[in-house]
Amino acid sequence: MLRRTLGSIAVLAFRNYSAKSFCSNMAQIIDGKGIAQEIRSQLGQELKESVAAGYPVPHLTAVIVGEDPASEKYVANKMIACREVGISSETKRLPASTTQEELLQVIDDLNKDQRVTGVLVQLPVPEHINERTICNAVDVDKDVDGFNELNMGRLALDMDGIIPATPLGVKRLLEHLNIETHGRNAVVVGRSKNVSLPMAILLHADGKYATKALDATVTICHRYTPAKELARHCRQADIIVVAVGKPGLITKDMVKPGACVIDVGINRIKDETTGKFRLVGDVDFEVRQVAGHITPVPGGVGPMTVAMLMENTLKAAKKQFCNRNSS
Amino acid sequence: MLRRTLGSIAVLAFRNYSAKSFCSNMAQIIDGKGIAQEIRSQLGQELKESVAAGYPVPHLTAVIVGEDPASEKYVANKMIACREVGISSETKRLPASTTQEELLQVIDDLNKDQRVTGVLVQLPVPEHINERTICNAVDVDKDVDGFNELNMGRLALDMDGIIPATPLGVKRLLEHLNIETHGRNAVVVGRSKNVSLPMAILLHADGKYATKALDATVTICHRYTPAKELARHCRQADIIVVAVGKPGLITKDMVKPGACVIDVGINRIKDETTGKFRLVGDVDFEVRQVAGHITPVPGGVGPMTVAMLMENTLKAAKKQFCNRNSS
């Protein structure tokens, strides 16, 4: 009896220890959805107050060229967010056969329309249209995506401008969670112009200027970084932001215990057991066993992107209103 | 006798070995001055041919505000280079009391003057003038320094534009020496907007676009990178570019044997033994014992900057001529 009791206690104690150790080693899953929801509520409140103070209601026009189900879904999510925050919005759908000149004309009309305060062209555009020409055609003050070459230049120079929503959302997450970045090692995996490069700029630049950047030491890795070097750079990082589109790229052995891992990847993969498709990021599930903080996919960076788009739309509208009334 | 002879042979053998080992371990000193001279000669030849083909002679106007001996010297060097290449040039000197509005007016006049194809305002400008406002005021096509926000945005987006002369000169040096950069580790020490950030962009970005970037993995270190981390990042680097202004910052123990070290620093220090001032970079002299290639100061990056300014001036003039004649 005594033996059995002792045995039970031992088992219980072991179980308790395991549970505790298991819990304390597991990463905190960053609730991007919840944080984004909080920001959207705040923005809604701010908008109410600014409309009450005499500012006009912002209006966002999204343009979709062709029929891409993913684009449709992304834009639908943005329209829902607009309604929730109180931003007036509409989606212009153009056929896949639209020429670049026709699309430029549509953008020009939106640029000139004083009622429209935000313009975004959902990417990708069909192959016969030059994406860069389109991004640069959007009026710099209405460019709520922050993809215009002038907004990119301003970000690079730590100037006030519009910052692409995804890297801005990642910055906001790090700040919300009080992740220390000053003088820490950060690795950005990927070198896209809409996410990775602005992210690297926001991570490394001087916090005392307009963009309130994060003062980290930053390493940019990409497709030509040898796998061994990628692993080494990542292992030294306090913050890893991965935006590549390769499921399972970042594995447990590549992450320093306690590091903050931000997964920007969105990959649609087929579950071989159920036959259904599901969304995964670029970070292997097991990384949760070593990271200090980690964003889930979905529900991590995605909702923050939409929330930051709303913030950009409000900011852009306010600036246009002030510009018109000061000139 | 035999003993003495043997002894002499042993000493000779030892001496030979030492000399060989000493030589093979010493870095190749990169002859920036010679390479720059070669480029200037080529540019002079090209200019002669293009003038013969009907293109107008480019004209560079440099503006100096106030009386800074270093600025005077830099601009004088640029004027000498212009004469040598065959570029028409002039220096406008404005008093230190010039207001920002007055300077903007001077720039505006130069922007509108079709005869002037290149405009540069020598930095620093006096403190009562906003440097960024001035850089952005220079017409993007005449901005031979590449400091306008739009040129910065274009560089960040791998687009054709004007690239700041110093990082462009470093890139040209690496290419001239056939230093492998593709997939290699590069460290940029510093985060200035005129040198370090464009350098990091040129080092990491995709070589298949207009800027023909170098496809390296890049780490940006700066004042908030802890000394220990700076040393670690540097030791892993195949290429180190340092542009900080701290004599002796990069020491022998921080450099991987065989690495290419590019010293952009220019520091005027007093030699305690002679009492005279001399120029040194940010890299300690002993680094020559481990590096594979190293730029001297003076005579390394400095002359390349002037040569690239000449290249930018030619490119800008050609573009303006073509634009005028196609519209």
Q: Using an 8 Å CB-CB cutoff, list chain B residues near A134.
A: none
pLDDT, average across residues B285-302: 97
The CA–CA distances, whole Å, from B214 to A52, A263, B146, B168, B211 equal 53, 26, 19, 11, 9
Q: Using an 8 Å CB-CB cutoff, list chain A residues near B151.
A: 153
User: Would you call B193 and A158 a contact, using CB atoms and an 8 Å cutoff?
Assistant: yes
pTM score of the predicted model: 0.92
Pairing of strands A28-29, B88-94: unpaired
Minimal C-alpha gap between B244 and chain A (Å): 15
Read off the tokens for A302: 């995605």
B221, β-bridge pairs: B189
Confirm if B146 and B211 have CB atoms less than 8 A apart.
Answer: no
Q: What stretch(es) of chain B map to CATH 3.40.50.10860? A: 56-145
pLDDT, average across residues A192-196: 98
Read off the tokens for A258: 């306690």
Size (chain B), residues: 327
Which amino acid appears at position B128 of this protein? H
User: Would you call A220 and B200 a contact, using CB atoms and an 8 Å cutoff?
Assistant: yes
Q: Using an 8 Å CB-CB cutoff, list chain B residues near A226.
A: 183
Minimal C-alpha gap between A252 and chain B (Å): 22
3-state secondary structure of B207: coil
Which of B310, B231, B244, B319 shows the shortest CA–CA distance to B62? B310
> Which phi and psi angles does A121 have, rounded to 5°?
-105, 115
Which class is domain B161-302? Answer: alpha beta
Q: Does residue B280 surpass a pLDDT of 70? A: yes
Q: Which of B156, B185, B233 sits opposite A153 (nearest CB)?
A: B156
Q: Using an 8 Å CB-CB cutoff, list chain B residues near A233.
A: 217, 219
Residue A303 sits at the vertex; the CA angle it makes with A301 and A307, to the nearest 5 degrees, is 110
User: Would you call B220 and A226 a contact, using CB atoms and an 8 Å cutoff?
Assistant: no
Taking the C-alpha atoms of residue B198 and residue B147, their distance in angstroms, rounded to an integer, is 10
Average of per-residue pLDDT values in chain A: 93
3-state secondary structure of B234: helix
Q: Does residue A17 surpass a pLDDT of 70? A: no
Catalytic residue among A31, A139, A145, A263: A145
Confirm if A262 and A304 have CB atoms less than 8 A apart.
Answer: no
Q: Does residue B11 surpass a pLDDT of 60? A: no
Residue B100 sits at the vertex; the CA angle it makes with B94 and B105, to the nearest 5 degrees, is 75
Confirm if B94 and B49 have CB atoms less than 8 A apart.
Answer: no
Read off the tokens for B101: 């509005």
Enumerate residues 6+ apart whose C-beta is below 8 A from B217. Answer: A219, A220, A221, A222, A224, A225, A229, A233, B183, B184, B185, B186, B204
- Contacts across the A-B interface (CB distance below 8 Å): 103
Conformational region of residue A86, where left means phi above 0, alpha means psi within -120 to 50, and beta covers everything else:
left
pLDDT, average across residues B293-305: 98
Q: What is the pLDDT of residue B79?
A: 98
pLDDT tens, A282-298? 999 999 999 999 999 99
- How far is C-alpha A104 from the chain's CA centre? 27
Residues of B with a catalytic annotation lie at 78, 122, 145
Cβ atoms within 10 Å of B100's Cβ, excluding its own? 16
- Interface residues on B facing A, Cβ-Cβ cutoff 8 A: 132, 148-154, 156-159, 182-183, 185, 191, 193, 197, 200-201, 204-206, 215-222, 224-226, 229, 232-233, 236
Read off the tokens for A226: 């040898």
Read off the tokens for A6: 């002792």
pLDDT tens, B173-204? 999 999 999 999 999 999 999 999 999 999 99
pLDDT, average across residues A49-74: 96
3-state secondary structure of B150: helix
Q: Using an 8 Å CB-CB cutoff, list chain B residues near A153.
A: 148-154, 156
Residue A145 a catalytic site member? yes
Question: Searching chain B, which residue's CA lies closest to the CA of residue A220?
Answer: B218
Q: Does residue A15 surpass a pLDDT of 90? A: no
Read off the tokens for B125: 């400008």
pLDDT, average across residues A90-109: 98
Residue A103 sits at the vertex; the CA angle it makes with A100 and A104, to the nearest 5 degrees, is 85
Read off the tokens for B64: 């100096």
Angle at which helices B165-176 and B301-326 cross, to 10° = 110
pLDDT tens, B59-73? 999 999 999 999 999
Residue keyed to tokens 């921080």: B254
Burial tier of A296 (Cβ tally within 10 Å: 0-12, 13-18, 19+): buried
Q: What is the pLDDT of residue B24?
A: 58
Q: Using an 8 Å CB-CB cutoff, list chain A residues near B158.
A: 193
Read off the tokens for B301: 């990056």
Q: Which of B200, B217, B224 sits opposite A182 (nearest CB)?
A: B224
Omega before residue A164 within 30° of 0, cis: no
Where does B56-145 sit in CATH, by number? 3.40.50.10860
Taking the C-alpha atoms of residue A201 and residue A156, their distance in angstroms, rounded to an integer, is 6
Q: What stretch(es) of chain A map to CATH 3.40.50.720? A: 161-302
Q: Does residue B2 surpass a pLDDT of 50? A: no
pLDDT tens, A231-249? 999 999 999 999 999 999 9
Q: For B284-298, give one letter per residue: b (16+ CB within 10 A) or e.
A: beebbebbbbbbbbe
3-state secondary structure of A102: helix
Regarding an ipTM greater than 0.90, the answer is: yes
Taking the C-alpha atoms of residue A322 and residue B253, their distance in angstroms, rounded to an integer, is 55
Q: Which of A193, A201, A224 sits opposite B215 (nearest CB)?
A: A224
User: Would you call B219 and A218 a contact, using CB atoms and an 8 Å cutoff?
Assistant: yes
Which of B203, B147, B128, B144 shows the shortest CA–CA distance to B173? B203
